[in-house]
Amino acid sequence: MTDTTLAQLRPARDASLSAFRAMLLRDVAVLRSNLYSFILRTVMQPLLFVFVFTYVFPKIGQGIGGAQGQATFSSLLVPGVVAIACIFQGIQAVMLPLVQEFGYTREIEDRVMAPLPVWGVAVEKLLAGALQGLLAAAIVFPLATFIPATPVHLQISWPELLTFLPLATLLGASLGLAIGTRVKPQQVTLVFSVVIIPVTFLGATYYPWAALDPIPWLKWAVLINPLVYMSEAFRAALTPQLPHMPVPAIYAAMIGSIALLGWIGIDGFKKRVTT
């Protein structure tokens, strides 16, 4: 019996790959059935931001930096808003579900028991989160481009865009995984005020990082914020005419942050499901 059993077993690699694929399919199916709420939660914040700052303000004569500055502001907001969309997917598609699954429902149990290593389940979460980030970026980009009352000047640099986009979405998902595996449900509101809000406000989203020159301490302090690199990356890819960090530095910082946060997240995931 044991021998026939062993013969029926699929090699660990095959079993893991098909389980991984099936989990991605599951996540896509769930996303499809929640498409409307996905779009709403993705669009709301960037939409209001772009609408108020780049449509309402110029119309009521409260432009930021005068008429000339306003035009630049609209352009420079596009990369920031796309970066925020990516990081928010990390929070909403990875962190919040994980907090709930670990804290209350334990519904990830069935996937943890599937024939693949536990770290594989965590990596699948990362990938699914990153895919949602891509989708979110695709939804938000036209909003930020077409809503502003003043013209938006984009000079898309495709090689940068096509490499930064997956990196940024992975980075957002890694942040979500790192926080989601280490936070208790009752701490979620705390995480929002202590982590998420500072990250978004100090993420070089509404101004280029270089513009922080007059406040040197802040300029260096915000470098621990992964969103800074995401914003700067999209700035380099969408509005390279505006100030942005050197491209190689952005690549290095993003890959480094993904490695660090990804490791923290996968390790946290393993610790949450095995003892």
Residues of this chain that interact with another protein (CB under 8 A) are 1-3, 5-6, 9-10, 12, 14-16, 18-19, 22-23, 25-26, 29-30, 33-34, 105-117, 273-275
Complex with another protein: residue 106 or 184, whichever CB lies closer: 106
Q: How far apart, in whole angstroms, are the C-alpha atoms of residue 114 and residue 176?
A: 23
What is the token pair recorded at 229? 């690199």
Nearer to another protein, 62 or 105 (CB): 105
Q: Cβ of residue 175: shortest distance to another protein, in angstroms?
A: 22
Nearer to another protein, 1 or 60 (CB): 1
The minimum distance between CB 105 and another protein, in angstroms, equals: 6
Least distance from C-beta 89 to another protein, angstroms? 16
Residue whose CB is less far from another protein, 93 or 178: 93
Task: Name which of 34 and 62 has its Cβ closer to another protein.
Answer: 34
CB of 169 to another protein, least distance (A): 21
Q: Which residue, 5 or 193, is less far from another protein as judged by CB?
A: 5
Closer by beta carbon to another protein, 110 or else 213: 110
How many other C-beta atoms lie within 10 A of the C-beta of residue 109? 11
Least CB distance to another protein at residue 189 (A): 22
Q: What's the chain look like in SS3? A: CHHHHHHHCCCHHHHHHHHHHHHHHHHHHHHHHCHHHHHHHHHHHHHHHHHHHHHHHHHCCCCCCHHHHHHHHHHHHHHHHHHHHHHHHHHHHHHHHHHHHHHHHCCCHHHHCCCCCHHHHHHHHHHHHHHHHHHHHHHHHHHHHHCCCCCCCCCCCHHHHHHHHHHHHHHHHHHHHHHHCCCCHHHHHHHHHHHHHHHHHCCCCCCCHHHHCCCHHHHHHHHHCHHHHHHHHHHHHHCCCCCCCCHHHHHHHHHHHHHHHHHHHHHHHHHHHCC
Q: Could you tell me which residues come within 8 angstroms of residue 234 by beta carbon, excluding any fewer than 6 positions away?
A: 78, 79, 80, 82, 83, 161, 164, 168
* Residue 47 structure tokens: 């939409």
Q: How far is the CB of 5 from another protein (least distance, A)?
A: 4
Taking the complex as a whole, the smallest distance from the CB of residue 107 to another protein amounts, in Å, to 5
Nearer to another protein, 29 or 194 (CB): 29
**Rounded to the nearest whole angstrom, what is the least distance from the CB of residue 270 to another protein in the complex?**
10
